[in-house]
Amino acid sequence: MTSELLDQALLDLALIEEATKKSGLVWVRGAEAPAARALWHVWHVWHEGAVCLVGDGPDEQPLPGLTAGGFAEVTVRGKDKGGRLVSWQATVSEPAPGSPEWEAAVAELKGKRLNAPDSEEMPARWARECRVLRLVPTGSVAPLPTGSLAQRPVPTPATTRKPVPAALPRLLTRRRKKK
């Protein structure tokens, strides 16, 4: 490997790490994701050179298409505007519950998990009911897309609300009388 290629690989890894550490949310596309919903937004932590995720259990985020030994594409958003900063390829691994790698990832994830119904029992519940995954960068940054990546919304039975009642704007803008 030439010096220039090595320097570029190190710069790519530094960009991946710095952007991913600062972003609380990433979009992930697993190699085996369903076609209807290829990109999923997930919360994560950056730990020991990888994105760590927990999900696929009750009260946790879905992780479709992410299988141990497979590949994933990770897209990191900017914290200030929420736009795409960098996309990169990763290998997916699933450490065995109770292994040192699993314990280290869970310790980091537990500290970042918001609104957990059972904060002290989380690691045991994750070991029983969920999957903890590590997405390790392969080292290369994908080029940013040139066109729009807009997709149709996922079909849903939800509907928009009915028209606003005519009197509501007057009620909302009416000032309170001083006492």
Question: Using one digit for the tens of pLDDT, what is the confidence trace for 1-33?
Answer: 578 877 888 888 998 999 999 988 899 998 877
Buried b (16+ CB within 10 A) or exposed e, 2-17: eeeeeeeeeebbeebe
| 131-163 pLDDT tens trace | 999 999 997 788 877 877 777 777 888 777 777
CATH fold, domain 3-145, is Pnp Oxidase; Chain A (2.30.110)
| 85-135 pLDDT tens trace | 899 999 999 999 999 999 999 999 998 888 887 888 999 999 999 999 999
Residue 179 confidence class, pLDDT cut points 50, 70, 90: low
Q: Coil, strand, or helix at residue 9?
A: helix
Rounded-to-integer distance, Cα 8 and Cα 137, Å:
14
For residue 135, count CB atoms less than 10 angstroms from its CB and return exposed for 0-12, middle for 13-18, buried for 19 or more: buried
Rounded-to-integer distance, Cα 95 and Cα 131, Å:
9
Q: Are 47 and 105 in contact (CB under 8 A)?
A: yes
